[in-house]
Structure 1
Amino acid sequence: MTVHDIARQLPEIAVLRDHCRAMAMVDAVLEPEGTFRYHSFDARWSETEEAALMRNGAGDEYAVVFSPAGAYIRGFAHESLMSPYEADTVWPGVLDEVPEAFRPQVEEPAFADEDGIPVVTACLWRETGDDGWRTGTIEFPESEDDDPGDPDGAGFLFQLLADRSAVAFQDWAADYYERPVDFAAVRHIFALRPLTAAVVKALNSEITLDDLAEDIQEIRYPVG
């Protein structure tokens, strides 16, 4: 699977934004310590932008920046053959066709290394009014065993953006956090229903709704 496959599976921008907010809210309840959180959402990324972020703590990450221009997605799989650390430059085609409207995101310092090279192996974008997601024209590297696999890391990075079901997230969260995860609570949040004390308790009995006040504000998640 490559970024081209992912582009065909992503929904319209508004649906993706709400999905990212929901994932961030569930993660905030499951992992109150923000340092170790997998998904996050910053509704105040800038005066005009919101950002959904993923960091797995092992060097893989993505960012989805929502702006008046549309949405820009940048992913980095650190073990990918397309990593800029392999050739000291971004893989040909990954960023070459990104529209000028998303140039600020391409050049965002937070998405580059100390030398200013964008840290990216997969990129997608969708301008406001577009009828689908776009990607660059890319010649992907061949693996040694002739299995195309996941050359840019897109299948791994964006699996929960492509499969947006509560079931998929519950399965992932139970594996990642190594504990049972209440499905009804996940489904409640994925439907963007107001967060309640009961839902919080079902996911994590060690925190309260009040403990999440800052996260709720940052994500702009509705509260009952």
Structure 2
Amino acid sequence: MMTLRRADDRGHADHGWLQSHHSFSFAEYQDPAHVSFGPLRVINDDIIAPGAGFGMHGHRDMEIVTYVLEGAIAHKDSLGNGATVRPGEVQRMSAGRGILHSEFNPSVNERTRLLQIWIHPIETGLRASYEQKHFDDADKRGRLRVVASPDGREGSVSFHADAVMYAGLFDGDEAFELALDSARKVYVHVARGELQVNGQTLRDGDALKLEAESQLHLGQGRQAEVLVFDLAA
């Protein structure tokens, strides 16, 4: 079974300095039909104005992945980490028993666009931790590259979740097929561009939910960047 969710159907919050589109219920956007999908709880598509950002605030018992599409985000946390995340990099923060962090756009004239992703952990009360890695475009060109997994496979960041996160770049005739476990769920999010996913045309911000499917086919991309989540049912 495949369920298409268009970008325009997502929740939207306009905070002036922040434009955020919510794929799942978040803050003031509450939709009982879109609370989570397996352990995937949040995909926020955020555009942050120059010099603006999120002040120090707390999280707990959530695996948080930041995926930057444009610009950069400057991160600081209560573990003493300080880093700047740019396109091509994946940041993983395990909130565990509790962590404080801040995120700001360090540019004075360019916006930042990022996806903030929350995934429920397989266990609560874990020790908070942080990890960040870079993935070359060449490794994602015309294929899906594992960027986050429970065991850090293929050099991905590791998290405490029953999920595997892939990223891919597709244009023109590039195509890729991934065999799926039909007992699991798969969530495909087109971050930008246009892409054919199992015969469906998805554009910037569109998503496709797959359940009881055995194959994922990606192709006919137009400057597409896609994230794919293999999720526990």
Range of TM-score over shorter length: under 0.3
TM-score of the two chains, using structure 2 as the length reference: 0.27
Q: Point out the structure with the larger helix share.
A: 1
Higher relative contact order, chain-length normalized (CA < 8 Å, sep 6+)? 1
Higher CA-based Rg: 1
TM-score of the two chains, using structure 1 as the length reference: 0.28
